[in-house]
Every structure is written in structure tokens, then in C-alpha cells.
């Protein structure tokens, strides 16, 4: 507990995401707006799924623990499906808006490309999802207490932080792959994204056996990272050029000598 745990877990959970925000999004107002709009869409999806869950709980037997857990699992699955539905809805909205703007402007280029929108909206979803998952836990970690005093796991905070980190990054990758597959009409890829989201959420049902949940999550995270990289136009060749500082386009754009 206390400040060390608080700061440690906060930086673990939000560090990469905030770094991404600061270095790639904060400068461009249009991206910030779409990020916040993405967060809003995630929020609405959560609201709807909570509403359904709440109703089912009210009409159920409140004393039966198994029933409540079952309802919670149902709530999780429903929430995942709704999130992906809203992601699709956001995609359609962005396409319409972009088309509208393009028609208005009679230009060939849009101010923001659909790929950037995919990245930004994925990160928006991720931020909101991560924040809602972990902020209350973080604020509790500031105060006094002993973790796991009743026999629960002692690694509650740090595992939550790592899980949140994975979820935020996953949302970003899912966003990129999702939009790309919608653009290319590759429905199997869409299904794969939804399926991987379901797998990640369902794998958390084995908590507190963290080895059973964190490891598969991080494996899926690396797979999705590679997939998103390929969708965004990356390749092994690009990677090599970037790492050896021989990528001419990038150097030119940043006015650096080779």
C-alpha cells in the first residue's frame, strides 16, 4: 500500500499509453478530439451493458452466489460484444464524417486518415477502459491496509496494473486491426478481433491464478501487436530500416542527416 505502490501501479498501467498520447496525439487537436469521442463511445457501451446487467440482477435471486457470478459472467460477455459493436458504430460514424468532409472540401486528402483514426479511437477506447478498471483500485492503494489479509492474493495491485496495461494496448491494436479489416471487408479478421477480446476477458475468470490469465493475455497482446503493425503498413524491411537509421523517408521528414 501507500504512495510507492500507488505510483508504481499508476505508471505501470498508464505509462505507455500516456507516452503514446504525449508523443503522437497531444500535438494535433483533431486527434485529441477523436480520442475523447472514442472514450465517450466506450463509455456509452459500458452504460448499456451495465443497464442490462442491472436489470437481470434485479429480477434474479440475490442470495444465490452462483447465480450472481453467472450473471456477472453474462455481463462480461455482453459488455465485450457491445464494446465491439460500438467500435463498429464509431467506425461507421467516422467514415460518414470523413466522406462528408471530403465532399465539402473538394480536396483529395482528408485532414486525418482512417488509419490515424483507427489508432486514435483504439487508444481512446483503451484509455477509458483502463481508467474505469483501475482508478478506484489505485485510489484505494493510497490508503492504509494490508493486501490479502483474508487469504486473497497479495499481488492484487500489481496484477491489476499489468492487466490494465495489457488491456489498454490491446484496445489500441484491436482498433487498428478492426478498422483495417472493415476497410478491406475482411470479415474473418473482424471476427478474430472480437474473438480475441472475448478470450482475453474470459481468461480473467481464473483470477486470482494470475499465471492463467496474465500469460495468455500477454501472448495475445504480442500477436495483436504484430498483426496491427502489419496492418498499419509495417514489415520486416521497414523495421530493419528504422532500427538501423536508414529509412530515408523518416529521416527526410525529421530533417536529420543519415
Partner 1 sequence: MNTSDSEEDSYNERSALVQCESPTIPSYNQDHDVSLPQQTDTKRRRPVSSGLDEPGPVERERASTPDGEEEELTLKYGAKHVIMLFIPVTLCMVVVVATIKSVSFYTEKSSQRLIYTPFEEDPNSVGQRLLNSFLNTIVMISVIVFMTIILVVLYKYRCYKVIHGWLILSSLMLLFWFSFMYLGEVFKTYNVAMDYPTLVMIIWNFGVVGMICIHWKGPLRLQQAYLIVISALMALIFIKYLPEWSAWVILGAISIYDLIAVLCPKGPLRMLVETAQERNEPIFPALIYSSAMVWMVGMADSSNPGSADGRLRNEGGARAQEEEESEDDVAHGGRRRYSAEEDLEEDRGVKLGLGDFIFYSVLVGKAAATGGDWNTTLACFVAILIGLCLTLLLLAIFKKALPALPISITFGLVFYFSTDNLVRPFMDSLASHQYYI
Which one, 49 or 180, has the nearer CB to partner 1?
49
| Least distance to partner 1, CB of residue 120, Å | 12
The conformation of residue 109, written as its DSSP 8-state character, comes to S
In angstroms, give the least distance from the CB of 20 to partner 1: 18
Q: How far is the CB of 247 from partner 1 (least distance, A)?
A: 28
d(CA 66, CA 63) in angstroms, rounded, equals 9
The answer to whether residues 220 and 194 touch, using CB atoms and an 8 Å cutoff, is no
Binding site for partner 1 (CB under 8 A): 29-30, 32-33, 36-37, 39-40, 43, 46-47, 49-51, 53-54, 57, 68-69, 72-73, 75-76, 79-80, 83, 101, 104-107, 111, 128-129, 131-133, 135-137, 139, 156, 159-160, 163-164, 167, 200-201, 204-205, 207-208
Cβ proximity to partner 1: between 135 and 241 the closer is: 135
Identify the burial level of 202 via C-beta atoms within 10 angstroms of its C-beta, where 0-12 means exposed, 13-18 middle and 19 or more buried.
middle
**What's the closest the beta carbon of residue 114 comes to partner 1, in angstroms?**
16
Cβ at position 256, least distance to partner 1 in Å: 25
Closer to partner 1 by CB, 101 or 242: give it.
101
Please give the Cα distance from 83 to 145 (Å, whole number): 34
C-beta closer to partner 1: residue 61 or 69: 69
Task: Give the other-Cβ count within 10 Å of 65's Cβ.
Answer: 9
CB-count burial class (<10 Å; 0-12, 13-18, 19+) for 127? buried
Determine how many CB atoms are found less than 10 A away from the CB of residue 44.
14
Q: Which is nearer to partner 1, 110 or 230 (CB)?
A: 110
- Burial class, 57, CB count within 10 angstroms (exposed 0-12 / middle 13-18 / buried 19+): middle
Least distance in Å: CB of 237 to partner 1? 33
Q: Which is nearer to partner 1, 111 or 234 (CB)?
A: 111
Q: Quote the CA–CA distance of 47 and 44 in Å, as a whole number.
A: 5
> Nearest approach, Cβ of 227 to partner 1 (angstroms)?
21
Contact assessment for residue 200 and residue 220, using Cβ atoms and an 8 Å cutoff? yes
Q: How far apart are the first and last CA of the chain?
A: 49
Closest CA to 22 of 13, 30, 12, 32: 32
Of 51 and 252, the one with the shorter C-beta distance to partner 1 is: 51
Amino acid at each position: 500500500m501507500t504512495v510507492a505502490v500507488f505510483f508504481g501501479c499508476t505508471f505501470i498501467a498508464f505509462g505507455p499509453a500516456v507516452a503514446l498520447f504525449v508523443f503522437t496525439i497531444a500535438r494535433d487537436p483533431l486527434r485529441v478530439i477523436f480520442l475523447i469521442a472514442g472514450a465517450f463511445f466506450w463509455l456509452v457501451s459500458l452504460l448499456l451493458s451495465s443497464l442490462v446487467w442491472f436489470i437481470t440482477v434485479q429480477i434474479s435471486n440475490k442470495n444465490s452466489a452462483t447465480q450472481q457470478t453467472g450473471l456477472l459472467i453474462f455481463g462480461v460477455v455482453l459488455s465485450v460484444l457491445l464494446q465491439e459493436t460500438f467500435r463498429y458504430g464509431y467506425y461507421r460514424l467516422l467514415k460518414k464524417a470523413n466522406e462528408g468532409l471530403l465532399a465539402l472540401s473538394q480536396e483529395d486528402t482528408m485532414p486525418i486518415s482512417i488509419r490515424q483514426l483507427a489508432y486514435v479511437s483504439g487508444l481512446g477506447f483503451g484509455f477509458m477502459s483502463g481508467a474505469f478498471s483501475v482508478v478506484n483500485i489505485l485510489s484505494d492503494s493510497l490508503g492504509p491496509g494490508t493486501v490479502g489479509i483474508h487469504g486473497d492474493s497479495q499481488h492484487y495491485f500489481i496484477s491489476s496494473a499489468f492487466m490494465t496495461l495489457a488491456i489498454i494496448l490491446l484496445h489500441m491494436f484491436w482498433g487498428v486491426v478492426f478498422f483495417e479489416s472493415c476497410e478491406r471487408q475482411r470479415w474473418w479478421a473482424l471476427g478474430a478481433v472480437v474473438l480475441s477480446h472475448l478470450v482475453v476477458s474470459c481468461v480473467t475468470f481464473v483470477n486470482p491464478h494470475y499465471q492463467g490469465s496474465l500469460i495468455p493475455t500477454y501472448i495475445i497482446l504480442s500477436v495483436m501487436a504484430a498483426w496491427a503493425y502489419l496492418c498499419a503498413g509495417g514489415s520486416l524491411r521497414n523495421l530493419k530500416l528504422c532500427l538501423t537509421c536508414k529509412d530515408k523517408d523518416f529521416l527526410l521528414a525529421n530533417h536529420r542527416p543519415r
